[in-house]
Amino acid sequence: MTPTASPQRTTVDALLLPIRFIYGLYAAAAFLLLALLSLPLLAFIPTLAGRRRLIRWSARLSLTLMGMPVRVRWPVPLPDPCIVVANHCSYLDGVVLAAALPPRFDFVIKREMAAVPLAGFLLRRISVQFVTRGNQSGGSRDALRVIRSAARGSSLAFFPEGTFLHEPGLLRFHTGAFAAAERAGAPIAPLAILGTRHCLAPGSILPRPGLISVTGLGILVPEPNHPDGAAALRDAARAAILAATGEIDAAGVKA
């Protein structure tokens, strides 16, 4: 039986709705203003490193102005190069990783984002790696390109779930990031992102202020000659993230 909200809770939510709406307008204005100010600079900054530093600074500042400060904790330093994998539960997650990670990281994201106005331009200027989903030939080409990038010593950042659901839960991990790590001999650095689901829940257009944390969960090193090294890395990274986030294990849920 589905629980129903109490009358008192319903009344409080109704009273808070105008405040949340006003805050939402402020947060959207702060984010869009910084994005629009960054776009001309992205067009003219000549170096990729400079453009990525700008995005990192803009992401940090926009989240702070929106009342969503990001606390980053690395128990051990991130190797250079390495492949970062993180849980995904909100549209804020990409902004949070941009704010948290050093600017040397290439982000690996779904190709559909390339067609989003302004966002596509921004993502190309910071040299993200787009990957195709649901198309076997295109996906294979993209996977091979990502593997070659890792083999050349690039540091990569993935959301291995590929998407998120409205309900809490950690989905199954795709193996792309871990296959790239195995082929390149690159370490995997799993990260736990907490707080973004509260600040911008899936399916909601009204954000909430709150603390966001990004925590490193150690380093996983590929085992040479392991019969299924990519799967072993995937399972170890997912277990670490599942324990750190406290999410429901939704590996069997179809996204």
User: What CA–CA distance (Å, rounded) separates 174 from 19?
Assistant: 40
* pLDDT for residue 226: 77
Distance CA 231, CA 244 (A): 20
Q: In DSSP terms, which residues pair with 136 in a beta bridge?
A: none
Q: Which of 79, 72, 78 is nearest to 99 (CA)?
A: 72
- C-alpha to C-alpha distance for 252 and 255, rounded to whole angstroms: 9
pLDDT confidence of residue 139: 57
Compute CA distances 60 → 65, 67, 72, 94, 194, whole Å: 9, 11, 11, 12, 16
pLDDT value of residue 228: 87
Q: Mean pLDDT per segment of 10 residues, for the chain of length 255 residues?
A: 53 71 92 89 92 94 96 94 95 95 91 78 86 62 84 92 89 92 94 96 91 97 85 96 94 76
Q: Kindly tell me the burial class for residue 36, based on how many C-beta atoms sit within 10 Å of its own C-beta (0-12, 13-18, 19 or more).
A: exposed
Look at residue 210 in the predicted model and tell me its pLDDT.
Answer: 96
Residue for token pair 């629980």: 3
Residue with tokens 């001999």: 185
**Long-range Cβ pairs for the range 141-144 (8 Å, 24+):** 142/111, 143/176, 143/179, 143/180
Q: Which amino acid is at 114?
A: A
Q: Are 234 and 175 in contact (CB under 8 A)?
A: yes
Q: Give the three-class secondary structure for 48.
A: helix
User: Bridge-partner residues for 157, per DSSP?
Assistant: 84, 107
Other Cβ atoms within 10 Å of 242 Cβ, number: 19
Report the predicted TM-score, pTM, of the whole model to 2 decimal places: 0.88
Give me the pLDDT at residue 14, please: 64
**Domains of the chain, each with CATH number or no CATH:** 8-245 (3.40.1130)
pLDDT digits (tens, 9 = 90+) for 55-94: 999 999 999 999 999 999 999 999 999 999 999 999 999 9
Q: What is the predicted pLDDT for the residue at 1? A: 41
